[in-house]
Amino acid sequence: MRTAVCLATSGALLLGSTVDSWAQRPDSSGTTNTILTISVLVAITLAIVVVARYLGTRRKQMEEAVILQSQLSDALAREVQLRGLQIIPKSQVSGWRRSHVTIQVVGEVPTPEIRETVMRIARAEVRRFRPDVIPVDHLFIVPPVHQDLRRSG
């Protein structure tokens, strides 16, 4: 939005300076200046429209990614086997033209079986809402430490 405000301010300043030149020069160079000024203003307006449209689309895609992240987090929290584990889905939107949404599943699990369970749930949940999104596994297997080892160490 800052870019749009800067472009609008520049356009207003350019238009203000052109109005002064219109009042002072009624000759043919005034017509050339008028055409040039109008061309610049049209270009600035088009730039503002393009930037605003891009930012609106980007905001919408980021909102959808956050909603997907929330739904995946809820699905993992409902699973009884995963209670007490710190598993956090993180969404990222990357790319300029076609944004790619990535869901990273981050955390620590005690066994490879639970890791597979988490990723299976994540893939099923993501596929249900957005088939084009692939969850990325960033889970670490950290075996649980027994209470006796914690006290002696």
Give the pLDDT score at 123.
93
148: enclosing H helix or E strand: helix 147-152
Of 74, 97, 76, the residue nearest 85 (C-alpha): 76
Give the pLDDT score at 6.
64
Give the pLDDT score at 95.
72
Angle of helix 28-78 relative to helix 2-24, nearest 10 degrees, comes to 170
- Mean pLDDT by 10-residue block, N- to C-terminus, for the chain (153 residues)? 63 62 57 85 92 89 91 91 90 78 92 93 91 90 69 50
Give the pLDDT score at 44.
92
Strands 100-109, 87-94: pairing kind: antiparallel
Give the pLDDT score at 83.
86
Q: Would you say 105 and 126 are in contact if contact means Cβ atoms under 8 Å apart? A: no
pTM: 0.65
Give the pLDDT score at 12.
66
Give the pLDDT score at 72.
93
